[in-house]
Amino acid sequence: MRIYGPNGTALGTPASSTKRTSSSSFSLPPDDAASASEARATLAPKATANIDALIALQGIEEDPAERRRRSVARGKGALDVLDDLKLGLLSGNLDASTVSRLRDAAANLKSSSGDPGLDAVLSEIELRVEVELAKAGRV
């Protein structure tokens, strides 16, 4: 993201053609410099339009099919971590990373998918994850 500040480039103002002279003193053209500086001061930054667009996008509800797809993916991810935990317990190599992945999976299962049947299955997976986390905390 580019930030245009008081010393940054001006948007929408063409480059002025000034004559270079060999004199050592500095002088501005009489009317063009004042109008150019006023034009720069009155231009609104374009970043506000981008921020407004982001705020508008946050207000848009997610598509129900997309919410369901994400919820199914979170449930599958939690089941994969539970499977890794089971394999680690059976082999005797329980990693702390598996327990932390299990905590992350439990946190991700809290959101609703909008489908009552899927939400019931996800709550059962969440319960199993919480039970395994309690067991891992005891050991």
110 located within any domain:
yes
23 located within any domain:
no
pTM: 0.52
Distance between CA atoms of 75 and 77, rounded to whole angstroms?
A: 5
Domain tally for the chain? Answer: 1
20 located within any domain:
no
Q: CA triplet 92, 95, 101: central angle to 5 degrees? A: 130
Range of the domain at 91: 64-138
80 located within any domain:
yes
Q: What pLDDT, on a 0 to 100 scale, did the predictor assign at position 5? A: 63
pLDDT band for position 76 (cuts 50, 70, 90) = very high
Cα atoms in the 13 Å half-sphere on the side-chain side of 10: 13
Tens of pLDDT along 106-128? 888 887 777 888 888 988 989 99
